[in-house]
Amino acid sequence: MTPQMLPFLALCVDIALVLILLSFAVAFVRIALGPTLPDRVVAFDMLALLAVGFIGLLTLRSGHPVFLDAAIALALVAFVGTVAYARYIERCGVRQEGG
Binding site for another protein (CB under 8 A): 2-6, 8-9, 11-13, 15-20, 22-24, 26-27, 29-30, 33-39, 41-43, 45-46, 49-50, 52-53, 56-57, 59-60, 65, 68-69, 71-72, 75-76, 79, 82-83, 85-87, 89-90, 93-95, 97-99
Residue 29 CA to residue 8 CA, distance in Å, equals 32
Measure CA 22 to chain center: 12
The count of other CB atoms within 10 Å of the CB of residue 54 is 19
Provide the 8-state DSSP code for 95.
T
CB of 64 to another protein, least distance (A): 11
